[in-house]
Amino acid sequence: MAILIAVTALVAVLFVFTRRPTVEYSPVRALWVTRFDYDSPADVDAIINNVGAAGFTDVFFQIRGNGTAFYKSELEPWASELSGHDLSRLGTDPGWDPLQRAIDAAQPHGLRVHAYMNVLPGWKGLADPPAAARQVWTEHRDWFMVDSLGDRMLPTSGWYSFLNPVLPEVRRHLRGVVSELCRYDIAGVHLDYIRYPHDYHIVARQRYPDATDEEITRRSDFSYDEASQAALFQKYGWDVTKDQIADFRRESITKVVRDISYVLQIEKPNACLLTASVMGNPIDGKHRAYQDSGAWARQGLVDWVVQMNYATKSFTRHLESMKKAAGTKKFASSVVVGLYLENDAADVLEQLEIVKESGARGFAIFSYTFLFGANHEPTEKGRKLLPKLRP
């Protein structure tokens, strides 16, 4: 009996010393603010005051859309949206700095400001930027992706042309953009459009109105530029497979994320979060857009993956897919679930409860404009949802 008691006591002691402590992470309640939500200092002040008063912990504040800047940049021209939305005034200094204004307005609220950038989009629209602005679409057309017919990717009226992540000069330019952002007292850098443009087929007919379905498919498959083809040949030889091409493209996207992570580690060590908006279905993201969000979370390459889980019928299924892709531990520490406010308020409230029960790090709301109208007063949907979004 004495031996049994001793063994039991030893097991109890070992259990105490070997079990893992429960880790609790501060919950995230984030809101996206797009570049379309503001065009004046008064707008930024009102936006940040509303976001802070609503109890959000973090704001993803957009400062780069398609190779133009909403902050003081030496690499990219001032956005024309800040000069009356007049394309001819692209590059004109508006006399104020939206990012700095947001940071200053956020301080009294204890609100964390993340500089939110579209990473690979380089231009949008049927008109070219003025040459004097020295925007990347006019200065470096060879930096952009190429379709499977050998032609440069063309932007449409509502869609972007994408920079090619394979090119060292593109990655250098993007590192430079992030380095500029590090001059600000930001809490984080938030990446969007960090993927291949798998969905270009939806808009391609604006550029190719007489194309067959087969041609549209080929016009929507990128990138077949010389540098990418040479890199594939060097790595795999002539008999490259579809799986190898997919691996190569995923690695190319991940290299950009790794580059940006490195810049933050050097310039803002332990002081700046790296987060990324990722596709709602991580399986589609990995195999169609070459965005391996589960691996980014598992490997700690980003602090949070922000899952754009915008569907309704597939919401729970995609949530479970993300938990599987990231792993349970990383799901708790590194997955923030994005909810889309264009959906019915009742659906959003149901999804919010599912997220709270899921064990995810928190939620993010897309976007400000659904909660607050043009006058920065709560919308009808905002009045329904804002009380439920508070801690």
- What local confidence, expressed as pLDDT, does residue 23 receive? 56
- Per DSSP, 378 falls in state B
What are phi and psi for residue 295, nearest 5 degrees? -65, -40
Q: What is the pLDDT of residues 85-107, one digit of tens each?
A: 999 999 999 999 999 999 999 99
Task: Give the domains, in start order, of the chain with CATH numbers.
Answer: 25-389 (3.20.20.80)
**Distance between CA atoms of residues 233 and 218, nearest Å:** 21
For residue 15, is pLDDT > 70? no
Q: Report the DSSP pairing between strands 28-33 and 362-366.
A: parallel
Q: Name the average pLDDT for the chain.
A: 94
Tell me: pLDDT of 211 over 60: yes
The token pair that represents 160 in the structure block: 């972007």
Q: What is the pLDDT of residue 380?
A: 97
Res 10: pLDDT: 41
pLDDT band at 53 (very low <50, low <70, confident <90, very high): very high
Is there a contact between 249 and 290 (Cβ–Cβ < 8 Å)? yes
- The pLDDT of residue 391 is 86
The tokens describing 181, both together, are 């952002």
Cα angle: 63, vertex 81, 382; to 5 degrees: 70
CA dist., res. 328 & res. 9, Å (int): 32
Query: Does 247 score more than 80 pLDDT?
Result: yes
Give the residue among 120, 25, 17 at the shortest CA–CA distance from 66.
Answer: 120
What pLDDT was estimated at residue 25?
77
How high is the pLDDT of residue 24? 63
Burial class (CB in 10 A: 0-12, 13-18, 19+), 32: buried
pLDDT at 320 over 50: yes
**pTM summary value:** 0.93
| Identity at 162, one-letter amino acid code | F
Q: What does the pLDDT average to over 335-355? A: 97
CB 297, CB 325: distance < 8 Å: yes
Mean pLDDT computed over 355-379: 97
